[in-house]
Structure 1
Amino acid sequence: MKHRGFWVMAGILVLSVLITSCIGRFPLTLKEIWEICTGTMQEAVKEDVFLKIRLSRAFFVGMTGAGLAVSGLVYQELLQNPLVSPDVLGVSGGACAGAVGAILMGGSALAVQASALAFGLLAVFLTIALSGLIGGQRTVNMILAGIVVKAVADAIIMGFKYFADPSRQLPSIDYWMMGSFHTVRWTEVRMVLPVVIAAFLVLWLMRWKLQVMSLGEEEARSLGIPAGRVKFICILAATVLVASSVSVTGVVAWTGLIVPHMVRFFTGDNLMKNFGICGCAGAVFMIWADTLARSLTAAEIPVSIITSAAGAVFLLAVLIRRRKRGEADT
């Protein structure tokens, strides 16, 4: 079947949502979740725990994971660099700087989201512009430019933290920057969902152009594709996905880099095929990472601790496997 991989991953995603919704300090069973969904549950507390807390959180967590994974896939294919990601390009850092600035100025949730988007876009376009000025090998100069932009974003964030109230604002900013979903409810879902759907739809409709763009801009132009316009629109949509989640949860590390590589590792390098699979895989990865973050200890730990550790282990495993394959080929 042409879309077998996508439907398998979508099934895993649904099972992950159901299973992780049972896990927590107030445990539920699959039977109780079924009773809640069918309206036969008699205990209002369990119904509130599932519908108002865990389901809203799982929805937002999955949406964030899918957005980060797809944005990483788009950046990597569009910029022809397998090492770029929202973190490496400085997008996450720029969006975080914008969000922190809006928080310190007492902005509303909408102002925080808009500021995160604006600074995220500024960061990614600065990275692209700087990589052109640096010159040299494309794979290397994009990373170097991203490091420079991320350093500037970190400096801005540290400046904001310096002027923050050390007893009230600073601790909350530090915790927020490590990434957490503990404040997410349906209000946050409704606020972000329209923007995320619009960005996903744009990238989905343009995925075949992205497939051609991955061959190079000259090749795309020769086939009649307006490479500059496509590149701008896709970068804008991918950055919207990152900024939308960062504005609510803080920075979630590694997801945008490692999930596209995980998908390619199992399904091959085909953007048209991998687009939907990557979104579902990112959602599954993030849902289980968040479940561990809220279940391993009595106090919830930042989710970036889990995603960074898992990402590092997987990347190391991939590198070792490639080395063994290389030795076997020789």
Structure 2
Amino acid sequence: MKDVANKRRILWGLLILVFLMSILIGRYPIDIKTLVKVLLSKAFPIEKTWPDTIETVIFRVRLPRIFAAILVGASLSLSGAVYQGMFKNPLVSPDILGVSAGAAFGAALAIFLSFNTIGIQISAFIFGILGVALVYLISIKVREEPLISLVIIGILIGSIFTSFTSLIKYLADTEDKLPTITFWLMGSLSGILPRDVKRVFIPILVGIIPLYLLRWKLNVLSIDEDEAKTLGLDTKKIRVIVIICSTLMTAASVSISGVIGWIGLVIPHLGRVLVGPDYRVLVPTTILLGSTYLLIIDNIARALTTVEIPLGILTSLIGAPFFIFLLLNKGRSWD
């Protein structure tokens, strides 16, 4: 446990370091001395020697984007971790029950209908939740193998939503709406405003807190059903909590960031390599890893070239080879 505590302190230090670096990185350079003065000026009477533009960049542009990256990274990675345990499958990701496909359709529909940014986010959130609700309602009608039924129905519902999204892209205006839909589907945190972070903060917090408090019970989902019942634990109730919390987190995340893949698949594996499969330590570790990882990816996306790279492209380019490496070298750590 002492080794785990040391690793967690290192992860906290890394997150704080990346957080501070993220404020400095960008097309409008800010030196560390100025940053410290601006931050301290909010609490202490310090003579203002910097232009108003710097405060606008820090508080209206970069900090909202940084907090959004932390929230989205934590949500997707935690959802992936709990789903992998619940389904007893290391290849499960947060979109397994159709939430990402539903949210993508909701956003594409809203863009097609010329909704504003708030309308797009609300539509994505609603359809993300609707997708999972359909999967769950249909799965409870299937009496055999509930977990397998969830996965199969999730794939089917996701395929239906994906087909509708493709239809909208086919019908969309190629000069205006189609590029907007395509860029949104590739994932990005550009244009994030403080109100966007406030809008998703509560759903994400509502999802994270129960999973964190019940993290010791999540270990039960990975053991045999009869053995869990012998211990007096209601696995069905735990599964429902996991599905509701993960759906809230993923739907809220996708509504502001678009579809960002591989985080919920790779980060839980990395967490298991570092601290093992015990959810009592895996949950906080996964949250820290996911937050730091997406923050780093977002920094690369906006600083690597003059044109911002969609996050989905970078997470795929980095995540897929890294996942192959984990499977080849640490494949047994999931057990």
Q: Tell me if both proteins adopt one fold, taking TM over 0.5 as the criterion.
A: yes
2:34 equivalent to 1:26? no
2:202 equivalent in structure 1: 194
- The residue type paired with residue 297 of structure 1 is T
Q: Where do 5+ consecutive residues of structure 1 fail to align?
A: 326-330
8 A Cα contact 1:178 1:250, kept in partner = yes
Shift of 1:14: 0.9
Q: Does the aligned pair in 2 maintain the 1:213–1:219 contact within 8 Å?
A: no
Ranges in structure 2 where 5+ consecutive residues have no aligned partner: none
- More off after superposition, 267-276 vs 36-45: 36-45
Q: How does 1:255-294 map to 2 (within 5 A)?
A: 255-294=263-302
The question of whether the paired residues in 1 share the 8 Å contact of 2:111 and 2:180 is answered with: no
Counterpart mapping for 1:113-262 below 5 A: 113-124=121-132, 146-262=154-270
Partner of residue 18, structure 2:
16
Instruction: Determine if contact 1:87/1:254 at 8 Å carries over to the other structure.
Output: no
Shift of 1:316: 1.8
1:252-289 Cα offsets, whole Å, 9 max, x none, are 11111110011111211111101011011001100010
Distance 1:234 1:320 in 2: 29
CA contact (8 A) 1:24 1:295 kept: yes
Number of aligned residues: 323
Amino acid at match of 1:311: G
Tell me what 1:69 maps to: 77
Shift of the 263–132 alpha-carbon distance from structure 1 to 2, 3 Å rule, reads farther
In structure 2, what is the Cα distance between the partners aligned to 1:125 and 1:194? 20
Q: 1:14, 1:90 → 2: CA distance?
A: 33
The change in CA–CA distance for 1:27 and 1:241 in structure 2 (over 3 A counts) is same
- CA offset at residue 4 of structure 1? 3.4
Q: Which moved further from structure 2: 186-195 or 99-108?
A: 99-108
Report the more deviating stretch, 115-124 or 54-63: 115-124
Report the Cα offset of residue 113 of structure 1. 4.2
- In structure 1, the partner of 2:9 is 7
**How many percent identity over aligned positions?**
34
What amino acid is aligned across from residue 190 of structure 1 in structure 2?
Answer: K
Distance (whole Å) between structure 2 residues aligned to residue 5 and residue 216 of structure 1: 30
- Given that 2:111 and 2:177 are in contact with CA atoms closer than 8 Å, whether structure 1 keeps it comes out as no
| Residues 228-275 of structure 1: CA deviation (Å, up to 9, x unaligned) | 222112111101111101111210111111100111112111111010
Distance 1:52 1:111, change over 3 A: closer
Name the CA distance, whole Å, in 2 between partners of 1:65 and 1:53: 18
Worse-matched range after superposition: 209-218 or 230-239: 209-218
Q: Partner of 2:191: helix, strand, or coil?
A: coil
In structure 2, the CA distance between the partners of 1:132 and 1:81, relative to structure 1 (3 Å rule), is farther
Given that 2:203 and 2:248 are in contact with CA atoms closer than 8 Å, whether structure 1 keeps it comes out as yes
RMSD: 2.7
What are the superposed Cα offsets for residues 87-129 of structure 1, whole Å, 9 maximum, x if unpaired? 4443211221123223433556565444434433443465565
Kindly indicate whether the alpha-carbon contact (under 8 Å) linking 1:95 and 1:247 is maintained by their aligned counterparts in 2: yes
TM-score normalised by structure 1 residue count:
0.88
Give the counterpart of 2:313 among 302, 305, 317: 305
Are positions 1:36 and 2:38 aligned together? Answer: yes
- State the 1:292 CA deviation: 0.7
Cα offsets for 1:169-228 (capped at 9, x unmatched) = 211111111001111021111111111111111212222222222224433333222222
What is the letter of the counterpart of residue 318 of structure 1?
A: L
The equivalences for 1:46-85 within 5 A come to: 46-85=54-93
Greater CA deviation, 293-302 or 105-114?
A: 105-114
TM-score by length of 2: 0.87
Q: Which moved more, 1:7-16 or 1:289-298?
A: 7-16
Distance of 1:142 and 1:7 partners within structure 2? 37
